[in-house]
Structure 1
Amino acid sequence: MATFSGATTHEPQPTAASAQPLPGGIWAAVRQRVAEPPVTNVQVFTIPHERGVRPSEEQRLWTILRERTNPQLYRPHAIPDVAADPVVEGGQTYYIVRTPQGAYIRLTEAQHEVWRAMDGTRTIAELGLDAFRRHSLILPIGELVATLKAEGLLLDKPVGVYRAINEALARGTTRTWGRRIRRVLTGATLTLPGIDAFYSAIYRWGGRLLFTRVFAVLASIIALAGIIAFGLAMSSGAETYEVIRLNGSVTLGLAALWAVTLLSFVIHESAHALAVKHFGRTLTRGGVMLYYGLPAAFVDTSDIWRSPRSARIIVSAAGPAADLLVGSLAAIAAYLTPEATIGAIAYKLAFTSFVSSVFNLNPLLELDGYYILVDLMRMPDLRRQALAYVRGPLWDKLGAHLRMQSMHWMRCTSRRPQATTVNLDERTLPFSRQERVFALYGAATALYTALAIIGAAWFWRAQILEPALELLRGVWWQQVIGALLILIVVLPAVAAVLLALWEAGQTTVGWLVRRGYGRQPGLLSAFGVLLAISASLAVLATQEGGWRWVGLALGPALWIVALNALLAVRPYYRGAAIYPAILALIATTALAGLAGIARMLPISPGIWVMLDGLAFVGLLIAGFTALLDVDLRAAPLRELLGTAVLLMAAFAIGGAALFSAQAVYPTAGALTLLITAAPAYFGALALALLLQHLFGLADSRMVWAWALLWAGVLVKTAGYIADLHGRGLALDVLGSGLWATAWLVHLATLRHLTLSEFRWEHIPNMSESDRLARAFQLTYHGCYEMLHSVYGERRARALDDRMDILAATADWDVTLDHERARIGAQVRTLPIAEQGARFAEVLRYIVAEIEQIAGAAFARRCIQAAYDALPWPERETASRLCFPDTPWARELSSSFGDIRAARLRLLRQVDIFLNCDDGELEALASSVVEQTCAVGATVLQSGAPVPGIWIIEAGEIIARRGGRIVAELHRGDVIGVEEVLGGKPCLYTYRATVASSLLYLPADEFFRLTAERAPHAADGMESVEVLRLLERVPLFADLPRNTLRGLVAIAEQRTYPARTVVVRQGTPSGTFFIIRKGIAAVVHREAATNGAPATTRPIARLGPQEFFGELELLRNAPPVASVVALTPLTVLALPHAAIQALVHSDGGVSRRLERIGSGRLKALEGAERGR
């Protein structure tokens, strides 16, 4: 089943099950169905009705809920009067259905029949069984119903809860507004009524002649002649054959070019429309749209999906063919009339038509050529899949191939010892045909996109912007045309570019943070400075040529990126003393960006110089407010001398700017010269004022961002003086690049606030009071170290000084000395609840002081990071006794709950804890200790005693025996459990191949828990063996581990002596059996006929990991054969309801079960024929 025209196929995921007690969902429904008594022909439900006893409202409610939450009992009802057209492709018949949303889905014959049978009276289970009886196919009915419901083909409409939540969260954000504006600029439409009737009339009155063979031959001859004529016209060099000008006039040339371009669009879309009518399909809509700011015609041809593949190819090719034909006719006319105005207009039409034909046939763009290609290759989602493959899997596979070749070379040269067991990695397999297609198409598309962006920038500058600016220099009516051209075409394009840059800034910061570069601000700064210098040198090399516009555009683009990052930084400093300086810097960045945009426009230089000067005013205000956040009494003498020197140097810089202004404007008055030179003086003053703030951050992570900002101010000041002489473009680009880098590094650093480098030691056997006190001490230590790391020693010392005063004033009996917190004897004698309240009070003041120093957002992140770094037992104790009394308790408890839930989910995945209930798992989660292993670190040595159990939370651990790798362990795998339970030494050496996170449970603690709080923690080995058995059964091989755990939870182990009948022919069992040990025989008893005695024929022998009972499930009828134990037999018994739930939720299980069941039915029929 496939969905077309941008519609989405929603595929339900397999329902996950976990250890007992299981949550709701499929397994809850299965247990309910198993527990229910079998339904017989006696209609006992009529008795209460006859007696007048009705179920209570509560019973009816729970009955409705059970029915609504059980997918097998859902009764889908298809909407009426929906047409489905059969299409034959590749020897198979499909049905194309148009959804109410206007999309198209493709159904197989069996799926179409099931859809038609959805009348609201049959359940999903009944529909699946009916489909199996009719077609001998097990269809994934659940997937089909989910897709039909999502596409609006069922009476029940999808709710879309998560989509609505995401839309509500995104509403009002800058990204959402940007996408709305871009959607208007690139896809606003005006639909015209009666499109289908209009083109139907054209087709009837002669349009059908365009699809005859005679016309095809004639059009081919015209196209060949037109291409030759166009080539001769271009090579002639005549002034008539110009694209922009007409009779020497740019105005007339642009008007003519626009007219023929619109004509070309209309002809192109009309060709598509007539092709659709040729195949008897409907044009759902058509009209005019904005395509990247330019008007264009469009028609909706999606109804052609109801036609065969050949028809779709012809419809896609009709548009470029029409362009080629019209362009050829126009080229011939232009060649025959070289001196006439009509010839010049015809040449423009030929040019636009040929260009349109080439672009539309380009398969690297999602235009007609692409759709022709995907129909020919039968790969409807080629572009998205190819680009996704090129972005990630291709490089992974190339890297795997290189590593494999390197290992092979090292073995051949004897540089590596022979080891070995190497796990099969599918990335080392040869490239398949599909992968080669994806790689080739994706790489070509990426390269073409880059070249197209460069070409588009050149075209817009040479063919759009420069003619528009030339019109602005003409007479009044030409100025009006030029202004309209800029307003309608240029400004929308500039807006689209600015929005793209805005999103690029947000995406860049997100990428940096996700990869952990926020912890390496020096590396980010060096990379940003290198890019800024490279851009400045490139501008310096091209500013005198035709590429000067690149430098003019690059400066504003960088200011926009910086503004985006600065606006994201602003919330972090809300409430801090430096917050006014951040607001002033925002104003400075906005004014500098406006000055850069004004510099690109053909207006008086005084305007952008004035805007630039105002930016320096904001910079001066930022310097003064930043200085107010500095304690000058604590500053060393050398730093104060540096500030004094810069203050004196500011006068010299201002004087240099004044003399430069006088040299450039010799006739200007004194006041004008002072105003012109003042911004340079302001910039020099800002450098002196910001220097103290920079010194205060010298030992912090934030020093890189503020140093870049200081360097950006220095370059911008020098650039302003150079701009007075008209030579400051390169310096402006360098200054804006440094400014953008500064705020991107600033934002990345603030978004990566963690205390991952702190690993507090786990101390066992502590009292509740000692653990609470230790939680408070470590939390304060974490807050202090976070502030010190991000903002330096001086701000951390300021926190210490303020807290000393508060502690003495409030008489807390808590002493805070740098990162240490000492608790007095008076506090330790208090009841534990009062101790928690005292610690909460101190932490509230600590967070409040950090807000004053670094901002509210940083303070919240700081306390959150300190809380997250606590050892698990301390965190659990503090969450109960201390943090509920703080104003940020909700945030911390939510985070704690998320971590706790994740930890519990991990323990549920561990095989040995399979039989533990939630209470036991919580006891285990409270006792484990977090550990980290660096790359190459040894967790456990072979032959050493095993002190406890390790559970892998993240990373990879390999197990070695001698020089051979015997296993690779990942999340959820366990180290040491068999040794601890058996009292044996370690058999393998375990070593981390990547930085890994482990949960450690000491052996003494494990045995204590199994004896007291988690008695089932050691009972999971039997369940593990059952789980491994299910994984080896081919029918279940690809199922998720959680689903298999659900089967383990409801499986029942049975044993049968030899010669015992396990399943009797003709007697329903309702059970699916998997052989664990022993051999069983499948026999078929043939009834006596025509006086011949009854006989029993052997059908098959079954051994471990094989199963039986599936034919009873598939046929929904009593067994057609008996199964007898030939040896003592141990089996796992699963109710048919469980297997039926898997069949309806997982298409892979249904297909495998169908394949195996069909083979066994054929074997049974063969035995009957051989009778």
Structure 2
Amino acid sequence: MTGVRLRGVWGRLAEGIQARPSSDGHRSGVWGRLATLVDVQEFRPRLAEDIEIREFTHRWGTDYAMIANPRDLVYYRLTPEELEVARLMDGTRTVKEIVVDRLKGSGDLELSSVADLVYELSFGNFLDRPFVDVDAAVQRALHPAPGARQRVGRFFKTLRLDWKGADRLVRWFYRYLLRWFFLKPVLLIVGVVSVGGFLAFLSIVRSGDFSLTAESAASGFLILMGLNYLLTFIHELGHAVVLTHHGRRVKSAGFMIYFGSPAFFVESSDGLMLDRGQRIAGAFAGPYAESVVSGAAALLVWLFPEAAFSPLLYKFAVLNYLVLFMNLIPLLELDGYWILSDFIQVPDLRPRSLSFIRHDLWHKLRKRARLSRQEVGLALYGFLGVGFTIFSLATAGFFWKNVFGGLLLSLWNGGVIPRLVLVLLVLVVLGPIVRGLINLARAVSRRLRALSQRVRFRLERKWRVEAAGLIDALPLFDDVPEEVLSDLAGRVALRTFGRGQPVVRQSERAQAFYVVRRGTLQVVEEDVATGN
């Protein structure tokens, strides 16, 4: 069994204690007691009393558990094996004893994985002892809390503002206004408004009495934008109220620039502790609230087609039904995606599909290997998702041109102040595009750095020494002579793998012995019969 290296200040302290000899060879006195306290193997982890654990079973065998820290609203996802280890953290066993218990129960003998889990749970304040991040405390002392100027700069960097007190506002709305909407009679009434409004909208479109390309005054544009922001607020409030209805909390809410458009958001990570049906209801609540408001607007246009507000409400309804359609199509990571992923019990559907297309699909096609039904589904979903993303961008461009094109032209021809407003709008819209180009440049830079590291690895001696040290630290090479170890280090090649990229595929023979220098290697075993 190998030891575990602690991190930061405690790691350096442990090294100093280890280097200080004891007079009797045992851990005695102050230094012996201190050595025991900082030795992760002797630590007795105990989960805090208020920690909540929920287990979830999936039909595809991807079972998992969620563990919640309700004080800080922090959530970790655990594998079934990690959950077994967490349940052993009752304060009566040391980390070393937990490893031994795991050996008796499952045959696993891995101290480092247990120690890593203990550290992560401690870092998230899941244990009964409050975690003190010494490094972070030093950084806060060196760099005090930012003032208003720094906060503004951070917003322009992240395009996001958070408000931690949103839960109180949501609870007020629920207590005095929205809890009635969970009653069946009220649900029936708003359902009639939603369905009837959509039918009225179809009738209006068939009549041809209204058009998107009609000229709009600047005041009409501002009213339309204000109505859309109000609808976005109602949409997010719908998500949050479902959390409150089921006894959960809203961690935060705020404002952000999303794909060039100002939007509200709700941090609803507490919903991870809900049952599958409740999570689906929470994801559906936002689009449902949006459909009710859009339906009410369409009914007003259908009932009063000659009213002065009808052309504006028609554009409002068209835009919102488009947004509703985009939200419910499960090909983007929006509400429809979360509904589908919970319904079919594949929580990482989009990342898995894109990773499969990038790394595994072309390999299997070259090998002419047979695809399982699950792999066919992942490939189909991934290609449809890419195609729908392109369609979404094209549709957004069409609506911006036809709904707001006349207004943009009038702003440009309206003088200095309207031009400044137009420039501000363009900067807001192009901001995410510029950030995307910056991220692309960073990705290219990382590739170039990886390439330069390979070249340096071949030329510099210190890389060889590092490789020799990593190899020598493995128990497998304990008895290897020094000259053989040096020869192995001379044969080492540096390789870089992206996130999700396979290193060695199941049923294939590895062509090299890999030593992980930086990062984490995940081992996934698939059922050959089912593809899971």
Structure 1 residue 74 corresponds to structure 2 residue 47: no
Mapped partners of 1:439, 1:88: distance in 2: 26
CA 119–220 in structure 1, closer or farther in 2 if over 3 Å, else same: closer
| Structure 2 length-normalised TM | 0.71
Cα shift at 1:395 = 1.2
Mapped partners of 1:181, 1:393: distance in 2: 42
Mapped partners of 2:242, 2:213: distance in 1: 33
SS in 2 for 1:283: coil
Residue of structure 2 in register with 1:519 after alignment: none
Mapped partners of 1:185, 1:350: distance in 2: 33
Residue of structure 2 in register with 1:486 after alignment: 423
Q: 1:813-834, CA deviations, whole angstroms, 9 ceiling, x for partnerless residues?
A: xxxxxxxxxxxxxxxxxxxxxx
Residue of structure 2 in register with 1:333 after alignment: 300
Q: For 1:442, give the aligned amino acid.
A: G
CA contact (8 A) 1:67 1:74 kept: yes
Cα shift at 1:365 = 1.6
Residue of structure 2 in register with 1:318 after alignment: 285
Mapped partners of 2:488, 2:131: distance in 1: 42
Cα shift at 1:332 = 1.1
Mapped partners of 1:291, 1:395: distance in 2: 33
Match 1:388 to one of 345, 355, 360: 355
Q: 1:525-583, CA deviations, whole angstroms, 9 ceiling, x for partnerless residues?
A: xxxxxxxxxxxxxxxxxxxxxxxxxxxxxxxxxxxxxxxxxxxxxxxxxxxxxxxxxxx
Q: 1:214-266, CA deviations, whole angstroms, 9 ceiling, x for partnerless residues?
A: 3444444333322222122223333xx34575xx4331231121021012112
Q: Structure 2: give runs of 5+ residues left out of the alignment.
A: 6-22, 140-151, 496-507, 517-521, 525-532
Q: For 1:491, give the aligned amino acid.
A: L
- Once the two structures are superposed, the pairs formed by residues 677-1076 of structure 1 within 5 Å of their partners are 868=459, 895-902=460-467, 915-918=479-482, 921-922=485-486, 970-971=511-512
| Structure 1 length-normalised TM | 0.35
Structure 1 residue 501 corresponds to structure 2 residue 437: yes
Mapped partners of 1:229, 1:81: distance in 2: 55
SS in 2 for 1:321: helix
CA 82–1147 in structure 1, closer or farther in 2 if over 3 Å, else same: farther
Q: For 1:391, give the aligned amino acid.
A: R
Q: 1:88-116, CA deviations, whole angstroms, 9 ceiling, x for partnerless residues?
A: 75799966423655332356999778657
Cα shift at 1:954 = 9.3
Q: Which structure ranks higher in relative contact order (CA pairs < 8 Å, sequence separation ≥ 6)?
A: 2
Cα shift at 1:356 = 2.4
CA contact (8 A) 1:244 1:254 kept: no
Q: For 2:227, give the aligned amino acid.
A: V
CA 900–199 in structure 1, closer or farther in 2 if over 3 Å, else same: closer
Structure 1 residue 149 corresponds to structure 2 residue 85: no
Mapped partners of 2:320, 2:475: distance in 1: 66
Task: Tell me which structure has the larger Cα radius of gyration.
Answer: 1
- Once the two structures are superposed, the pairs formed by residues 596-607 of structure 1 within 5 Å of their partners are none
CA 287–492 in structure 1, closer or farther in 2 if over 3 Å, else same: closer
Cα shift at 1:327 = 1.0
Mapped partners of 1:66, 1:387: distance in 2: 47
Mapped partners of 2:401, 2:187: distance in 1: 40
Q: For 2:357, give the aligned amino acid.
A: V
Residue of structure 2 in register with 1:735 after alignment: none
Mapped partners of 1:216, 1:127: distance in 2: 51
Cα shift at 1:296 = 2.4
Match 1:260 to one of 220, 227, 240: 227
Q: 1:416-461, CA deviations, whole angstroms, 9 ceiling, x for partnerless residues?
A: xxxxxxxxxxxx3x32344233222222222222333344445445
Q: For 1:468, give the aligned amino acid.
A: L
Mapped partners of 2:185, 2:346: distance in 1: 33
Residue of structure 1 in register with 2:341 after alignment: 374
CA contact (8 A) 1:362 1:369 kept: yes
Q: For 1:355, give the aligned amino acid.
A: L
Mapped partners of 2:471, 2:80: distance in 1: 44
- Once the two structures are superposed, the pairs formed by residues 49-64 of structure 1 within 5 Å of their partners are 61=31
CA contact (8 A) 2:55 2:64 kept: yes
SS in 2 for 1:392: helix
Q: For 1:209, give the aligned amino acid.
A: W
SS in 2 for 1:341: coil
CA 465–200 in structure 1, closer or farther in 2 if over 3 Å, else same: same
CA contact (8 A) 1:468 1:482 kept: no
CA contact (8 A) 2:212 2:403 kept: no
Q: Structure 1: give runs of 5+ residues left out of the alignment.
A: 1-14, 18-23, 27-52, 166-179, 402-427, 516-750, 755-863, 869-894, 929-950, 956-966, 973-1039, 1043-1145, 1149-1171
Cα shift at 1:56 = 9.5
Match 1:126 to one of 89, 94, 97: 97
Mapped partners of 1:189, 1:365: distance in 2: 23
CA contact (8 A) 2:261 2:429 kept: no
Match 1:472 to one of 412, 427, 442: 412
SS in 1 for 2:76: strand
Structure 1 residue 398 corresponds to structure 2 residue 365: yes
Q: For 1:345, give the aligned amino acid.
A: L
Mapped partners of 1:496, 1:347: distance in 2: 29
Q: For 1:189, give the aligned amino acid.
A: L
Structure 1 residue 208 corresponds to structure 2 residue 144: no
Mapped partners of 1:953, 1:131: distance in 2: 36
How many pairs are equivalent? 469
SS in 2 for 1:260: helix
Q: Percent identity?
A: 26
Mapped partners of 1:301, 1:104: distance in 2: 11
Match 1:449 to one of 356, 372, 389: 389
- Once the two structures are superposed, the pairs formed by residues 192-591 of structure 1 within 5 Å of their partners are 193=165, 195-205=166-176, 207-238=178-209, 241-243=210-212, 248-401=215-368, 428=369, 430-460=370-400, 463-464=403-404, 467-474=407-414, 476=415, 480-487=417-424, 489-505=425-441, 507-508=443-444, 511=447
Cα shift at 1:321 = 1.0
Cα shift at 1:952 = 8.9
**Greater share of residues in strand:** 1
Q: 1:609-638, CA deviations, whole angstroms, 9 ceiling, x for partnerless residues?
A: xxxxxxxxxxxxxxxxxxxxxxxxxxxxxx
CA contact (8 A) 2:260 2:431 kept: no
Residue of structure 2 in register with 1:882 after alignment: none
SS in 2 for 1:289: strand
SS in 2 for 1:366: coil
CA RMSD of aligned residues (A): 4.7
CA 753–361 in structure 1, closer or farther in 2 if over 3 Å, else same: closer
Cα shift at 1:117 = 6.3
SS in 2 for 1:296: strand
CA 359–903 in structure 1, closer or farther in 2 if over 3 Å, else same: same
Cα shift at 1:295 = 3.1
CA contact (8 A) 1:374 1:382 kept: yes
Q: For 2:467, give the aligned amino acid.
A: A
Mapped partners of 2:154, 2:329: distance in 1: 24
CA 480–398 in structure 1, closer or farther in 2 if over 3 Å, else same: same
Q: For 1:916, give the aligned amino acid.
A: V
CA contact (8 A) 1:469 1:482 kept: no
CA 94–496 in structure 1, closer or farther in 2 if over 3 Å, else same: closer
Q: For 2:407, give the aligned amino acid.
A: P
Q: For 1:224, give the aligned amino acid.
A: V
Q: 1:1018-1069, CA deviations, whole angstroms, 9 ceiling, x for partnerless residues?
A: xxxxxxxxxxxxxxxxxxxxxx999xxxxxxxxxxxxxxxxxxxxxxxxxxx
